[in-house]
Amino acid sequence: MIEIQQLTKSYNRKVALDQVSITIPTGKIVGLLGPNGAGKTTLIRIINQIITPDSGHIRFFGDLLKPKHLNEVGYLPEERGLYRTMTVEAHALFLGQLKGMNKQEVRVQLDYWMNKFDILSWKTKRIEELSKGMAQKVQFIFTVLHEPKLLILDEPLSGFDPINVEIIKKELLALKEKGTTIILSTHNMKSVEEICDFAYLIAEGKVVASGTVAELQEAKKEGVYAIKFSGNMIAFVNALWTNYELIDKEIIGDNRFITYVKMRGEAGFEELLTALIGQVKLEAAWEVLPSMHDVFVQTIQERKEATNA
């Protein structure tokens, strides 16, 4: 695993990272989330050894992180930059060799990936001949060409059309299955829900929440249940009495509804069902968890309120 321990970094007097500790288990996808200016890029740059921390250290699969480990890291920065006049193949050879591959290895890997994405014919094209999305796909391939143990991706899905977003997500999950450890820095909360095993939420240089996506959602849930039923809405509302609050409803057919009910006080889910049985015909009921978007917004808001108090 990658262990980031007590990392601190300031620019002049501005603290960008403050005692940040993060554990990234081998073969998992870890989301790095946080508002603009939270310190995510600073952390990523330290892992990539572009900048050094003021204090703290990183263990890379047991060893203290050193320059030699860079050959085992693949980094897709948010600011994409490729040499425009190079062909795709020449560019791959250039970057692959920087990562310690020989030409033959680069060619084999490049063919494998370009074949997989069905873009083999782009190999001889110059970068400037590619659309923005095409260039991004190519840069993604360049990032994984040397089969890095650790893959760091900064907003890898932005700029892709929905079909390509699905393709990249599928490939990330396939890389994870093969044992690649992935750090995904993103503002796209839907992708966090879909592919991250764990997430760390950073704000003002500090870790403010962490856990599996389910744990983070569980921590911010508000006792809301969805109830799907057929029958009379008035009978439903009367059955709720004062223990539950009806917060929303959708009509899904003739006398068929999905309602959203919030618990009040000590009332529990079982009591809710007991109150409803016999009053309406229940079809389904499930707990409504907050989205990662809501988890993010709520956590940051609570932190702001606590700091201002």
Q: Which residues bind ligand ATP (CB under 6 A)?
A: 11, 14, 16, 34, 36-42
First to last CA, the chain: 38
Nearer to ligand ATP, 106 or 203 (CB): 203
Residue from 195, 183, 173 nearest 25 by CA: 183
Nearer to ligand ATP, 36 or 307 (CB): 36
Q: Rounded to the nearest whole angstrom, what is the least distance from the CB of residue 31 to ligand ATP in the complex?
A: 13
Nearer to ligand ATP, 41 or 188 (CB): 41
Nearer to ligand ATP, 206 or 262 (CB): 206
Nearer to ligand ATP, 41 or 191 (CB): 41
- What letter would DSSP give residue 286? E
Look at residue 160 and give its three-state secondary structure: coil
Q: Rounded to the nearest whole angstrom, what is the least distance from the CB of residue 199 to ligand ATP in the complex?
A: 14
Radius of gyration of the chain (CA): 24
- What tokens were used for 96? 């692959």
Residue from 258, 304, 308 nearest 285 by CA: 258
| H runs (alpha helix) in the chain | 40-47, 88-98, 103-116, 132-144, 162-177, 189-195, 213-219, 233-240, 269-276, 292-308
- Using a 10 angstrom Cβ sphere, with 0-12 exposed, 13-18 middle and 19 or more buried, the burial of residue 46 is buried
Q: Rounded to the nearest whole angstrom, what is the least distance from the CB of residue 260 to ligand ATP in the complex?
A: 32
- Using a 10 angstrom Cβ sphere, with 0-12 exposed, 13-18 middle and 19 or more buried, the burial of residue 297 is middle
Q: Rounded to the nearest whole angstrom, what is the least distance from the CB of residue 137 to ligand ATP in the complex?
A: 22
Q: Rounded to the nearest whole angstrom, what is the least distance from the CB of residue 198 to ligand ATP in the complex?
A: 18
Nearer to ligand ATP, 54 or 248 (CB): 54
Q: Rounded to the nearest whole angstrom, what is the least distance from the CB of residue 185 to ligand ATP in the complex?
A: 7
Nearer to ligand ATP, 36 or 121 (CB): 36
Q: Rounded to the nearest whole angstrom, what is the least distance from the CB of residue 16 to ligand ATP in the complex?
A: 3
Task: Say how far apart CA 202 and CA 38 lie, in whole Å.
Answer: 6
Task: Say how far apart CA 225 and CA 201 lie, in whole Å.
Answer: 26
